[in-house]
C-alpha cells in the first residue's frame, strides 16, 4: 500500500525545485508562482532553482539537496518541479528515500521527472503525480482541461474518475479490446527504458502501464518497445495506455533502412500479440491538454470502449 500525500488546500505552502534542466526564461517561474499565490497558496523557491551546471540546474548534489530539503521541511506541504528537460536520473543515488517515505507530499512533474516518480514509488513507497510543472501555469500555456485535471488529482477528496479526451474530435486507437484493473505505473518511454537494469527498474507486473513520448521517430520507438519486451515488461502488464504521442513522425534522414512506418504500426506490432487491453491517444504527457495521473493509484481500463478511469483517491484530508 503506497502512502498518500495530504490534499492540497488553500493556504498550503508549495516548495518548488528544478531537479532537471533550468528554465530558459526565468520569468516562467515567476509567472507560475504568481498563479498559485493569487489562488491563496504560498510558494517557496529552492536555493539552487536557477543555477546552471552543464545541462542541469546546479550540480547533482545541489539538486538532490533541494529535493531532500523540501521533503524534510515541515512547513512545506507539496513539492512541485519547474519543468523536465534532462538530469533527474543523475540525482537518484543522492536522495534520502527513507526520509521521503516518512514525509509523503504531493510531488508532481512529467517527462524527465519520470525517473523520480519510478524511484519514489519503488524506494519510498509514496504516491506521486504525473502532471504539469510549475512553468505550465500561465495564461499562454495552461488550458482549462490541464487545470481541471490538475486540481481534480491533487485538491479533490474524490477519485479523478474518467480521463476523458480533451477534444471529442480526436480518436482513441483501440489496440486490444478487454477490461482490466490495477495500479497505474509509467511515464516517459525514454526514461522508463533508462531504469531497466538499475535499482529503480519499473515494475509492471499486474499493473496498468501508461506511456508517453515526444519528438521521437517511429524506428526509435520500435527500439525502445523492443527493449521493454526483451525485459519482460510489456507481457507482465495487466493493461497498457499509450498517450497522444507528440511529433513522433519520421524525419528526413537516411539511417540506412526504411523509416516510413508510423507510430501506430509500432504499437500494433508490439502490443497486439500480447492480447491484453491496450489503447492509444489519451492526453498524457507532452500535449497541449494534459491529464494529471496519480502514479500508484488503482485504475480501471475498459479498452473496448477506449476509456481509462482512476478509481482510487490519491490524497488524504
Q: What is the mean pLDDT of the chain?
A: 94
Active site residue 115: no
Question: Which of 57, 286, 298, 312 is an active site residue?
Answer: 286
pLDDT at residue 257, as a whole number: 55
Question: Which of 88, 104, 212, 312 is an active site residue?
Answer: 212
Between CA 17 and CA 172, with CA 289 as vertex, the angle to 5 degrees is 130
Distance CA 299, CA 308 (A): 7
Active site residue 263: no
- Cell numbers at residue 226, please? 523492443
Q: Is the pLDDT of residue 203 over 70?
A: yes
Active site residue 269: no
Q: Is the pLDDT of residue 201 over 60?
A: yes
pLDDT at residue 157, as a whole number: 86
Distance CA 210, CA 240 (A): 6
pTM above 0.85, yes or no: yes
- Cell numbers at residue 13, please? 505552502
Distance CA 252, CA 90 (A): 32
Does domain 161-310 match CATH 3.50.30.60? yes
Question: Which of 23, 88, 111, 124 is an active site residue?
Answer: 111
Residues of the chain with CATH 3.40.50.10740: 13-142
pLDDT tier at 129 (50, 70, 90 boundaries)? very high
Residues of the chain with CATH 3.50.30.60: 161-310
Distance CA 64, CA 99 (A): 13
| H or E segment and range at residue 147 | helix 144-154
Q: Which fold has domain 13-142?
A: Rossmann fold (3.40.50)
Residue-wise pLDDT tens digits, 56-115: 999 999 999 999 999 999 999 999 999 999 999 999 999 999 999 999 999 999 999 999
Distance CA 116, CA 89 (A): 7
Distance CA 185, CA 203 (A): 8
Residue-wise pLDDT tens digits, 209-265: 999 999 888 889 999 999 999 999 999 999 999 998 887 777 755 555 555 678 889
Going by the DSSP 8-state scheme, the letter that residue 92 receives in this structure is: G
Amino acid at each position: 500500500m503506497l502512502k498518500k500525500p495530504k490534499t492540497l488546500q488553500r493556504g498550503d505552502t508549495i516548495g518548488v525545485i528544478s531537479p532537471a534542466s533550468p528554465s530558459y526564461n526565468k520569468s516562467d517561474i515567476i509567472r507560475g508562482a504568481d498563479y498559485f499565490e493569487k489562488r491563496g497558496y504560498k510558494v517557496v523557491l529552492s536555493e539552487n532553482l536557477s543555477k546552471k551546471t552543464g545541462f542541469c540546474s546546479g550540480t547533482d548534489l545541489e539538486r538532490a539537496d533541494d529535493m531532500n530539503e523540501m521533503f524534510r521541511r515541515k512547513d512545506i506541504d507539496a513539492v512541485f518541479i519547474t519543468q523536465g528537460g534532462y538530469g533527474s536520473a543523475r540525482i537518484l543515488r543522492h536522495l534520502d528515500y527513507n526520509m521521503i517515505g516518512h514525509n509523503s507530499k504531493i510531488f508532481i512533474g512529467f517527462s524527465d521527472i519520470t525517473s523520480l516518480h519510478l524511484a519514489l514509488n519503488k524506494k519510498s513507497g509514496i504516491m506521486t503525480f504525473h502532471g504539469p510543472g510549475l512553468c505550465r501555469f500561465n495564461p499562454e500555456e495552461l488550458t482549462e482541461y490541464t487545470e481541471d485535471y490538475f486540481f481534480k488529482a491533487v485538491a479533490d477528496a474524490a477519485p479523478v474518475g474518467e480521463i476523458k479526451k480533451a477534444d471529442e474530435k480526436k480518436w482513441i486507437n483501440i489496440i486490444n479490446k478487454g477490461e482490466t484493473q490495477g495500479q497505474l505505473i509509467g511515464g516517459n518511454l525514454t526514461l522508463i527504458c533508462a531504469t531497466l537494469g538499475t535499482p529503480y527498474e519499473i515494475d509492471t507486473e499486474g499493473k496498468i502501464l501508461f506511456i508517453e513520448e515526444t519528438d521521437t521517430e517511429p524506428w526509435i520507438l520500435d527500439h525502445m518497445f523492443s527493449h521493454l519486451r526483451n525485459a519482460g515488461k510489456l507481457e507482465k502488464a495487466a493493461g497498457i495506455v499509450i498517450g497522444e504521442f507528440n511529433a513522433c513522425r519520421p524525419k528526413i534522414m537516411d539511417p540506412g533502412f526504411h523509416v516510413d512506418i508510423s507510430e501506430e504500426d509500432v504499437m500494433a506490432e508490439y502490443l497486439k500479440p500480447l492480447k491484453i487491453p491496450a489503447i492509444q491517444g489519451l492526453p498524457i504527457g507532452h500535449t497541449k491538454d494534459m491529464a494529471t495521473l496519480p502514479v500508484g493509484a488503482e485504475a480501471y481500463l475498459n479498452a473496448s470502449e477506449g476509456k481509462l478511469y482512476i478509481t482510487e483517491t490519491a490524497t488524504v484530508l
